[in-house]
Structure 1
Amino acid sequence: MRLALERIYLPPLGRVTDDTSVLTLRSLAFEPLCRWQHGRVLPALLAAWSHSDDGRAWRFVLRAGAVFHDGVACTATHVLATIRATLEGRDMFGMPWSYARYLAGAEIVTDGADAIRITTPEPLADLPEILSEFVCAREDASGEAVLGTGPYRITRYLPNQAADLLATDPARTPANIHAIAMPDAEARFGALRTEAADVALNLERRDAAPGGHGLVWGEAPNTLSVMAYLNGAEGLFRDPRARLAANLAVDRDAIIARLFHGLGLPATTIVSPFHLGMRASRPSAIPHDPARARALFAAAGAGAPILIRAPDHMPERAPAIAAMIAADLTACGCPATVEVIADRPLYARQVSARQIGDIALFDSSPHSSFRVIDDKISARSCGPWWQGHDDPTLEALFRTAVATQDEAARDAAYGRCLARLQDNPPWLFLFHPVEVFAARAGLPPLALDHRGVLHFA
């Protein structure tokens, strides 16, 4: 099977990513420590776990018989190295991840060859979900992290060009995968049309609606939230009426229809419908209500121009999204101008330093409800992306959720957090992208999950 991806890249040890091309390639060759699926956490390389009654002491047991592709047995020592490397890792912009903060003061040790123990200072019921973002890998003799325990062995890896993978089980279909780097979406689509590729991902990036051409098409809404930070520390959006007004003023459906050919799901709160908490709390989107928005903006004292900052990419078509937001706000009595920043890493660092103007277009990628609240919302945590939102009611609800061990009860507890965040929004909620792939007819069934990872039936 010839697979056209936007990127061919295997990050170094300890690097977490939300790039769907990288996630798809990684899922073939490597295993996460735990597996996330639609807001639930399932066994993976760590096959089972238990915890003390107070939720502080955890024991995780490895899958029996786990072996790296070079024949080396995977042990608790490798898992411990994976955790330590990830805790020390940095993101694509060179900024430190939050994992070290989550596990600050934790004792992490091996317990024989097949288990690890993690003891945290405070209860952390979301620990398995956090570990679902950690991928166990080893470097080969050349220093590339290409040795995994997954269903396919990497036989050739040319960064930014191609990778060849061979199934470890001869009965698996496809037995061989040739992954090709094609950064341009139209080139990936063209490779399908000329039969140079069998499957192509991320075709939502084309400026065309999916479908037709004798291809088999598939799509899935992604857990990613395209959103905009509202400055809760100073200016107009310290007022909760102004924050609600912004959400009432902006026409999400129009943004999705005009800029993305309808490939989006309107956001209802800070996370997607597939996050923990959304089974218990399924709020509908805040309606587009310009009249109510105008009244709330007037009550909050709007009138002076506000500044919307946006990157030139990530999210896709960010300047055009910002322009539509500005037009909607201006029409509701909140005049807005747009500043576009071309240097994306600089922009990320500015957002983390809370240099966002009044509104800053961004995205939120963690599939963990805990991580989104802790990194971006909670005034108690003051995480790397916190923008001044301070809601004591939310903080009490969040503390309860973090300490709740029972899965159904924790889902309900996070549901209460998410409902509160819709009533008192910290952001301008926009949409969740729909990702698209296409394949030539006659292949085994394929499907995207809500993280954008391609799966072979």
Structure 2
Amino acid sequence: MRTTRILQARLQMDDPHNCTDVNDTLTVLEALYDALVRRGETDGFAPALATSWEASDDCREWLFHLRGDVRFHDGTALDAEAVIASLKRMARPDMGVTLGAPGVYSQYLTGAQFEAPTPGSVRIRLAEPMADLLDLLVYGYIVAPSVLDDPMARPCGTGPYIFESAGADSLGARANPDHFDGPPRHEGIEWRKVADVADRLAALERGEADVANALAFDAKPEGATAQTYLSPTTIIYLFNSAKGPLQDGRIRRALNLALDREALIADVLGGAGAPLQGFLSPAHMGYLPEDEKAPRPDEVRELLREAGVGEGLTLDVDCPTSLPNEAQALTAAVATQLAPYGVILNVRIHEDREAYAHRVRRSEIADMCVFDSSPLSTFRVLCEKIDSRVQGSWWLGYANREVEALIDKARVTGDDLAREKIFQDCHRLLRDDPPWLFVYNHLRRVALRGSHPDWRMRRDGVLDVRSLPQFGGVADG
């Protein structure tokens, strides 16, 4: 069997119903499982286990029409009841766990009714309207009922690849010849964890791997096609808007106008980033490019003067040592840029990243903290981090009634173009009254052995093995 080998920095087989935005994990899950829908080539959503769907006018009720003749890897048939079993598991408050925040999916699916009008259709009646439901279900993998009690012990889905083996630093899968999209291009897939970026590059150049992800930004491997792509995870500082000086929107706005993001990217990332000018990245629905970029020193000083801190301001900042890994260097660089305005950062370092995430979730932070925002769903970002009525896991006291009215409008706006306009209005309002300090997105580098000029990384930054071209000439081993 010819095995296509993928090298990546991390390797983890996660529960398919946990909520993760880690691309190294999603590439494995996307190979083994299917969801009702998948992301489109350039935008929107495409059929997967559902061939079509429709929503009620208020986007509260959704009907999905399933493919026929689909079987799980254990040979059992996929039908509406099997789909509903996975959806109900997703909706449990103990599922959907991401770092520091349990129950991500249950925020949207609690109180939902799941019905099977026919063996080939599934109806979801939501407790609250959600026009962006597909953005939630795109990673809602359907698991064989036979393993639902412990899908980690024996992964079993309907995906194009069938789980075969797992070692300390490798995972293996073989092609599913009966997949509804037809036989996969690759007989087998092997993911290997190679932690050192130089080792990943060297193995690719030696012909020992077909794909190497997360390479150095300037990597130009011999005999390979390298591509740079934007990670939709935004690097930010969450502001404590519940207490302290950052309750004042003028100060929050001033800090955003003070940053020279291009300089931060050059100094901290060696150029491997894209400036973030608002709460959305260019990959998100509703993104608007900035006409006049920061820094704008005169406006900064005027805003600080109006807020009564023109003579100086000290802010306490919580900073982890990882995720992002450059957090300490970034905070030092931000402190250097803010110092000329009389803004001093008093930094507190946190080495336990999981404990740090729990502190943020419990709102146990000082004035601001280094963090990120990973959902590609604009609606999820607004609900989980910004809407004061929801007070989600990462909400820190911010409130904007105009934005919340737009969130309510977006909930029931099924037309994609109209909803995008609503999110653009949110983006504009949240630039003027920012809940966070916007910094940048990372630029990542991936390389494929051989010449593949037409291949593109998926827009969510996930390496989709279904799209990989065929490789030849490397033996297993």
Partners of 2:391 and 2:152 in 1: CA distance? 37
SS state at 2:278 partner: coil
Partners of 1:248 and 1:32 in 2: CA distance? 41
SS state at 2:447 partner: strand
CA contact (8 A) 2:59 2:414 kept: yes
Within-5 A mapping of 1:302-341: 302=309, 303-341=312-350
SS state at 1:222 partner: strand
Partners of 1:442 and 1:421 in 2: CA distance? 43
Q: Does 1:356 align with 2:356?
A: no
- Residue of structure 2 equivalent to 1:25: 28
**CA 1:168–1:233 in 2, change beyond 3 Å: closer, same or farther?**
same
Partners of 2:262 and 2:349 in 1: CA distance? 23
2:304 to 297, 300, 314: 297
Q: Does 1:249 align with 2:261?
A: no
2:233 to 208, 211, 224: 224
- Residue of structure 2 equivalent to 1:391: 400
- The answer to which of 284-293 and 166-175 deviates more is 166-175
Structure 2: give runs of 5+ residues left out of the alignment: 470-477
Instruction: Write out per-residue CA displacement over residues 423-451 of structure 1, whole angstroms, 9 at most, x where no aligned residue.
Output: 21111111111121112225696431222
* Deviation at residue 155 of structure 1 after TM alignment: 2.5
- Residue of structure 2 equivalent to 1:266: 275
* Deviation at residue 351 of structure 1 after TM alignment: 0.7
**What's the C-alpha RMSD, in Å, of the aligned pairs?**
2.3
How many residue pairs align between the two structures?
452
* Deviation at residue 130 of structure 1 after TM alignment: 1.4
Partners of 1:198 and 1:123 in 2: CA distance? 44
- Residue of structure 2 equivalent to 1:452: 461
* Deviation at residue 214 of structure 1 after TM alignment: 3.9
> Structure 2: which amino acid aligns with 1:394?
V
4+ residue runs over 6 A deviation: none
SS state at 1:136 partner: coil
* Deviation at residue 92 of structure 1 after TM alignment: 4.1
Partners of 1:57 and 1:347 in 2: CA distance? 38
- Residue of structure 1 equivalent to 2:59: 55
**CA 1:105–1:212 in 2, change beyond 3 Å: closer, same or farther?**
closer
What TM-score does the superposition give when structure 2 sets the normalisation length? Answer: 0.88
Within-5 A mapping of 1:345-384: 345-384=354-393
1:234 to 243, 247, 270: 243
CA contact (8 A) 1:167 1:174 kept: no
- Residue of structure 2 equivalent to 1:128: 134
> Structure 1: which amino acid aligns with 2:132?
D
- Residue of structure 1 equivalent to 2:474: none
CA contact (8 A) 1:60 1:116 kept: yes
1:44 to 30, 36, 48: 48
SS state at 2:347 partner: strand
CA contact (8 A) 2:286 2:422 kept: yes
Partners of 1:421 and 1:319 in 2: CA distance? 26
Partners of 2:143 and 2:253 in 1: CA distance? 45
Partners of 2:292 and 2:164 in 1: CA distance? 47
Q: Percent identity?
A: 31
1:77 to 71, 77, 81: 81
- Residue of structure 2 equivalent to 1:181: 193
Partners of 2:134 and 2:112 in 1: CA distance? 14
* Deviation at residue 144 of structure 1 after TM alignment: 2.5
CA contact (8 A) 2:35 2:49 kept: yes
- The answer to which of 126-135 and 211-220 deviates more is 211-220
Structure 1: give runs of 5+ residues left out of the alignment: none
> Structure 2: which amino acid aligns with 1:301?
G
